[in-house]
A and B are shown apart, each in its own frame.
Chain A
C-alpha cells in the first residue's frame, strides 16, 4: 500500500500550458523531493524541502517551482510547459534528522508536452 501519492499518473499537455503535479505523503516525513528521470537515465534532483516553508533547488536546473505549505503536500508547478519538459517526475519523502533514512518514492507522473 502506497504512503506517497502522485497525481496524475500520465499527462499529455500542449506547449505553453500551466500544470501542477501533485504529491502527498501520509508518513509525516519532514523531507520531500522531486526527481526527474528520462528512460534509462539516472534520477536528477530538481527540488527538495526539509520542512514546511522550506524549499531549495536541486542539481538539475529546472523551470519549475514548488511550495511546502503543509508537511504532507509538495506540489510542483510548470508555468509554461515546453516539449523539453517531457519526462518522468518522481516525488519522494524521507524522515528528517536520520542519515540512513531511505527515500520512499511515489509512482511518478509521466509528462508529455506536445
Chain B
C-alpha cells in the first residue's frame, strides 16, 4: 500500500465543520482513497472512499485534489461522538475488502463542546 501522511492530531469545536487532510504524493493511478475511523476502545468503522471525484455520504464528504496527491475528509458538523482516530488508507481494490488494511498512525480528532 502506498504511504499516506496525516497530522497527528486536530481539534475542533462542536457543531462546526472539520477538515482532515491526508497527503499521498506517491499514489498510483489505480489506488482508491479509503477513510476509516476508530472510536475509543472500539473497532474501526468505514467512513468513505473515492477514486477521483468528490464523494458524499451520510457520514462525511471526501474531497480529492485534482492531481490526487492529497485528499480531505470533511465532517460537516462535528459532534462529540466524532472524537476518534481517523485513518486515510490507499488501496488498489475499490472496496478495500480483498486484503488486510495497513493502518498508519492516523489523526486523533478532539472535539470540544
Indicate whether A and B interact.
no
Listed in ascending order, the chain B residues whose CB lies under 8 Å from chain A are none
Listed in ascending order, the chain A residues whose CB lies under 8 Å from chain B are none
